[in-house]
Amino acid sequence: MSITRKPQPSVPAGEPPKVDIDYLINRGGSVPNPEPAAGSGKPKVASVILRIPSEIGQRLDQALRARPVRLPRHTWILEAIVEKLDRESN
């Protein structure tokens, strides 16, 4: 193991580094836009808590396991909601 000297700071102790503060202030930056642009095509999402009886949840899980292609429970519920809304609107 080699022994080396402790690195010395390039600026003497107690003296802050010199920074062009005006440059930093004038450089500025962009303000973050938390809302997507109107043409972004990404719809807003609303969180909803869904409480269902355990019997219905078990039936749902059985139906999903019986499918030949795995489908997430969330997707199945969204499809069911859309189907119901389509029937209601007709």
pTM of the predicted structure, to 2 decimals: 0.51
Copy the structure tokens of residue 76: 């199945």
Q: Please state, in angstroms and rounded to a whole number, the distance separating the CA atoms of residues 88 and 10.
A: 74
Q: Please state, in angstroms and rounded to a whole number, the distance separating the CA atoms of residues 82 and 80.
A: 5
Instruction: For 53-62, write each residue's pLDDT tens digit.
Output: 999 999 999 9
Closest CA to 84 of 76, 10, 34, 65: 76
Task: Please tell me the predicted confidence (pLDDT) of residue 81.
Answer: 95
Average pLDDT over residues 49-72: 95
Domain ranges of the chain: 49-90
